Amino acid sequence: MSAFDWLSEYLARLEDEHALVRFGEAASLNPAHRLVLDAEDWGKAGSVAAGMGCRWAGAWGDPRELDVVVRVCLEHLGDYLVIETEVPLSHPILASHTPYFPGANRLERHLRDLTGVAFLDHPDRRRWTRHQAWPDGEFPLRLDYPIEGRSLRRVRADADYPFAGIHGSGVYEIPVGPVHAGIIEPGHFRFQAVGEEVLRLEARLGYVHKGIEKSAVGRDPLGLARLAGRVSGDSTVAHAWAACQAMERATTCIVPPRAAILRALFSERERIANHLGDIGAICNDVGFAFVHVQCARLREQWHRRSAELFGHRFMMDAVIPGGVAHDLPPEGAALLRADHAALRQVIEPLFDIVDDHPSLDDRLLSTGYLSHADARALGCTGYVGKASGQVFDVRRDNPYPPYDTHPVTVPVETAGDVAARVRVRMAEVRISLSLRKR
């Protein structure tokens, strides 16, 4: 019996006769299971799921005329469970999952700011997303809130956000942002440090909240995929593919095998470009410009080939509902094979330098340490989780076409520092270049 079966049975045996439990009834949620709960059982579900070792993977809310439907996605050993409940707008209160899953902290605050759902026993009552853009008591995702907002006046500075502080002998504070010298999106960071040891870092994000959830309502499938592809420019393929998968599963649309292969090709090219860019940026941040220049050169060549073959440097709008917008031209396969062979050859000496260079070691080893326990408690995935001993990768643990026939090796490190995260990135570049059919 799976962990989710245990959770379902446990909640089904609750003494409350009003508890509503339905397990696995919604085929449209495939591959996830679905469990509908009475609101008063929400906190118990979080406690039980945490005891089982589930990963809290995300939360969202859908306001309706009289209530809000709140959903949380849980993952365990590659299996997914969506639990959901309803709370009335007249009394939108739920038990918090943050005491059991620390990673739920910001997403519950985000949900509260946008829908008005309050979470009991939440350890942090501060707003997260609002940033003075709308007044207290108004919630942009509710049906009565206009998508264009209620005021065109310039939003006043969010100067009174109560950052946590640390006081003591030798402790100093460094504010960074929200406007940065580079082109990264705004974020405000407060460092409290003694010497070079950072005692606490608090991030304040959400300055450019775009209202994408509201903008998505009522769009046709192609328009929704285009919107998803603009959530983040350097991950346009990943977001568009996720949105298309959701629509395709909801409508039982079958994607042709060739289109699935091309989607994976786009996605792995995007992964390689992002890793190259960030490996170079990390080295540049600590004064090692040589690697930054080399990675930028390789990434630019990679983007130019994507533009030549797929119509856009970042392959924007290449993934569309039901398939892809661009087939690989007849000469494309040979060009890509040559590119892949050339990149494999040139990255090896470059990655050897990154992996064993004293000036880099001095700055990356032990920096930004994230323990295995903390990574697990926060539900970290991707290269961050893998660098701290978390081996989950959805392409392997819950594979979807074409990864069900093109198995992915998952690199893992245990040091949990910046150096380990760079090593994971380098390993993922190599793996993406070497994917083969089983």
pLDDT(11) > 80: no
pLDDT at 165: 84
Query: 359 and 283 in contact (C-beta within 8 Å)?
Result: no
Residues in Cβ contact with 105 at an 8 Å cutoff, skipping those fewer than 6 apart = 98, 122, 123, 124
CA dist 91 and 122 (Å) reads 17
Element holding 76 (H helix, E strand): strand 67-76
- Read off the pLDDT of each residue in 324-352 and give the average, rounded to a whole number: 95
CA dist 400 and 394 (Å) reads 8
Q: At what angle do helices 3-12 and 42-52 cross, to 10 degrees?
A: 150
Q: Residue 370 is encoded by which pair of tokens?
A: 């994230």
Residues of the chain above pLDDT 70, percent: 93
pLDDT at 25: 39
CA dist 206 and 201 (Å) reads 17
- Read off the pLDDT of each residue in 332-358 and give the average, rounded to a whole number: 95
Residue 252: burial class (beta carbons within 10 Å; 0-12, 13-18, 19+): exposed
Residues in Cβ contact with 174 at an 8 Å cutoff, skipping those fewer than 6 apart = 190, 191, 193
pLDDT band at 216 (very low <50, low <70, confident <90, very high): very high
Q: Among 261, 268, 248, which residue's Cα sits nearest to residue 402?
A: 261
pLDDT at 26: 35
- Flag the least confident range among 25-29, 163-167, 170-174, 269-273: 25-29
CA dist 158 and 142 (Å) reads 23
CA dist 151 and 138 (Å) reads 12
pTM: 0.89
Most confident of 74-78, 228-232, 237-241: 237-241
Averaged confidence pLDDT in the chain: 90
- Read off the pLDDT of each residue in 207-233 and give the average, rounded to a whole number: 91
Query: What number of other Cβ atoms are within 10 A of residue 184's Cβ?
Result: 9
pLDDT band at 30 (very low <50, low <70, confident <90, very high): low
pLDDT(229) > 90: yes
Give the SS3 label for residue 317: coil
- Read off the pLDDT of each residue in 145-169 and give the average, rounded to a whole number: 84
Residues of the chain above pLDDT 90, percent: 71
Q: Residue 219 is encoded by which pair of tokens?
A: 């769009």
pLDDT at 17: 39
In the chain, what are the domains? 3-120 (3.30.460.80), 172-204 (no CATH), 255-433 (1.10.645.10)
CA dist 105 and 222 (Å) reads 33
pLDDT band at 35 (very low <50, low <70, confident <90, very high): confident
pLDDT at 29: 53
